[in-house]
Structure 1
Amino acid sequence: MNKPYIIAEIGVNFYDTAKELNISLIEAAKMYIKAAKLNGANAVKFQSYKADTIVSKNSPAYWDISKEPTRSQYELFQKHDLFNINDYKELFIYCKSLDVEFMSTPFDFASVDYLDNLVDIYKISSSDLTNLPFIEYIAKKNKPIFLSTGASYISEIEEAVRLIQSLNSNELCIMHCVLSYPTKNEDANLSMITHLKNIFPNLKIGYSDHTQPDSTMTVLTTAYLLGAEVIEKHFTLNKNLTGNDHYHAMDPSDLNLIVNNLSLVQTVLGKSYKTVLDCEVIPRREARRSIVINNNLKEGDIIKKEDIMLKRPGIGISPKYMDIIIGKKVLKDIEKDTILTWEII
């Protein structure tokens, strides 16, 4: 399996950390980037939007109100839409200095345009899967696209894929996602990764996760084992902060754990074909069996079944030739417990 590409989705969580620590938004964002890099993320991802262009003022919440009490989408987005192109440029430069990829999900046409000089990959949110004019606009930028597929039918995914591929020949990754915050484990539906691989055999498949982190990060590990080559999960520095994306996000220790898990999985999976490994060459020889003479024999004696025992090591004649050996004449005196070779019969 290919090495997984891990995205720590910072989103807008740094707003709450800035408030908690009484620091600037840009300082908080950089804290997140550094922590993600130090704990093994390949990329960090933000969200680029303005409340006035993403949602009408009458849009109700669809998240867990007990965790994020804001009841209006517009009100929530207004709290987190302060960054502009200059802020993202600064974060882009900071990411470059740490050798971690900068990403941000655009939610309007203006964001698509100003991110064009900052991102190598466009991420399209599940919420925009059927927003075909928007998808067309992104596809024409002719860059790789990661497409989330939460709350969708296969027919809707296929329609978006056809549109993208008609305009863009770059890499397209289909991201399994469940559009529910948090996603219950029983709703994670990770078998969809296998389903998507079957439907889109020529495309990369990934997983954008909204389950609450488990102690062993088994959900993400399983997603990788099922074939997800891109793993995305919300990232926070403090799971106890109030806000829409902290309570189901991974923290630095979770990120470090999943990176180590996936590294171990990749190591133990090894080759996809059966052969003798280098580490098995000596054990193969020493632990396998040979035909061993079980009695003292004189030159010219005929080997009988009772003259044979099958013992280690496997440096002599293999047991599979036992029927051929029985009845053969020995060419010299042989002592009991001699490993039989072809030269002495």
Structure 2
Amino acid sequence: MSYYLYAETAFYHEGNKEYLLNLIDDVKSSGAKGVKFQVLIELNEFMSSSHSAYEEAKKWTLSLSDWREVFTYTQKLNLDIVLMPLDVRAFELVKEFEIKFVEIHSVSFKDEKLLSKLEDIKIPLIFGIGGRTIDEVDYIVKKYNDRDIVLMVGFQSFPSDLKDIKLERISELKKLYPECKIGYADHSSYNDDMAVTSNEYAYILGARIFEKHIALEEGVERIDYQSAVSSEKIQAIKKRLDYLESLFNINSQEVFSMSEKEVTYRNRQKVPVAKRDIKAGEIILSDLVEIKMINKKGIIESIDEVIGKKVSKVIKKDSAFTVEDFS
């Protein structure tokens, strides 16, 4: 399978560990391969006390021991872990658990203290590039050119409009950075068809890593609820991506091989037929042949294969030529 789909929990749990464990159960039922966790342990390292959401954000944090329990449960369900570290302590979990990807949030692009921790690990990296200039993207790609990198297109604007996302960036990034995988993090509204369909668009444009926020119940007002969808919708995304995979992920040697139905379509083509009744022993000249459609099997398709040959039996007008006619 060439694509990878994971579910994003973000701060939808609002600091409630049991609620987060229930979210993980829903990820398992959705068919997604992994779960993304925004791990925040030390709020003061991530957010200024002057930030308007500071007091509310205090409720969102979980302890390191809580995260250990969450990660252990995730692995028990055979789900991959995608870790988004929002502070340095979050990297302690990398030493203890198998991590599929470490993802750096766009807001952390200038956090050299956090980014320095990437030097100690060899895990594939995802960079959220929403709100980043192409020069900043280029810098990251060159800085980590010895690593497996995913450039994740998309950003959260509670919810996001596809016109603002500019999906065409996917195909452009694919051309600019062929050594990188391109991802798509959809933040369309949970009640918009694009919450499912935009992932298909992204696949066709070249994205192969997909992220979608998950909710226990759509529309319930919690943190990041605007773009969070049910496990059933994530199942629908997976089903559509599976279908596209079957259409596009074809061995290059088989791209131009024909299916039985295509061969049937080809066989409708015009073929050489007798312009008049032709007697046995006559030589076929161009004025004795016309090109017409005829629904017969085992006939000669090319006019070059009949011109200049002597027929061995009578051929009726409008009959197609066969190899036996010249034996």
* TM-score range relative to shorter protein: 0.7 to 0.9
Please state if 1:45 is matched with 2:36: yes
How big is each residue's C-alpha offset from its partner over 1:17-57, in whole Å with a ceiling of 9 and x where there is no partner? xxxxxxxx333222211211211211111111132221111
Per the alignment, residue 193 of structure 2 pairs with: 215
- Is the contact made by 1:289 and 1:314 (CA closer than 8 Å) also made in structure 2? no
- Is the contact made by 2:4 and 2:208 (CA closer than 8 Å) also made in structure 1? yes
Per the alignment, residue 261 of structure 1 pairs with: 240
Partner Cα distance (1:106, 1:202) in 2: 24
Distance 1:262 1:170, change over 3 A: same
- CA shift, 1:80, in A, is 0.5
Per the alignment, residue 25 of structure 2 pairs with: 34
- CA shift, 1:263, in A, is 1.1
Per the alignment, residue 11 of structure 2 pairs with: 12
Distance 1:79 1:276, change over 3 A: same
Unaligned runs of 5+ in 2: none
Secondary structure of the corresponding residue to residue 287 of structure 1: coil
- CA shift, 1:291, in A, is 2.7
Distance 1:329 1:29, change over 3 A: same
How big is each residue's C-alpha offset from its partner over 1:100-133, in whole Å with a ceiling of 9 and x where there is no partner? 1122311111111233322232111111122233
How big is each residue's C-alpha offset from its partner over 1:161-219, in whole Å with a ceiling of 9 and x where there is no partner? 33333xxx331111112353322232121111122212212111112222214225222
Distance 1:282 1:233, change over 3 A: closer
Partner Cα distance (2:303, 2:280) in 1: 24
Please state if 1:123 is matched with 2:103: yes
- CA shift, 1:253, in A, is 2.3
Distance 1:269 1:300, change over 3 A: same
Distance 1:306 1:172, change over 3 A: same
The root-mean-square deviation of aligned C-alpha atoms, in Å, is 2.5
User: Displaced runs of 4+ in structure 1, greater than 4 A?
Assistant: 306-309, 335-338
- Aligned partner letter, 1:154: I
Q: What's the TM-score once normalised by structure 2's chain length?
A: 0.86
Per the alignment, residue 329 of structure 1 pairs with: 310
Secondary structure of the corresponding residue to residue 182 of structure 2: strand
How big is each residue's C-alpha offset from its partner over 1:233-279, in whole Å with a ceiling of 9 and x where there is no partner? 22111222223301221222221111111111122235367423243
Secondary structure of the corresponding residue to residue 9 of structure 2: strand
Secondary structure of the corresponding residue to residue 95 of structure 1: helix
Per the alignment, residue 132 of structure 1 pairs with: 112
Q: 2:152 aligns with which of 165, 175, 178?
A: 175
Unaligned runs of 5+ in 1: 17-24, 60-71
Aligned length: 318
Distance 1:5 1:297, change over 3 A: same
- CA shift, 1:302, in A, is 3.6
Q: What pairs up with 1:82-93 in 2 under 5 angstroms?
A: 83-93=62-72
Partner Cα distance (1:164, 1:326) in 2: 66
Secondary structure of the corresponding residue to residue 203 of structure 2: helix
Please state if 1:250 is matched with 2:234: no
Q: State percent identity of aligned pairs.
A: 25
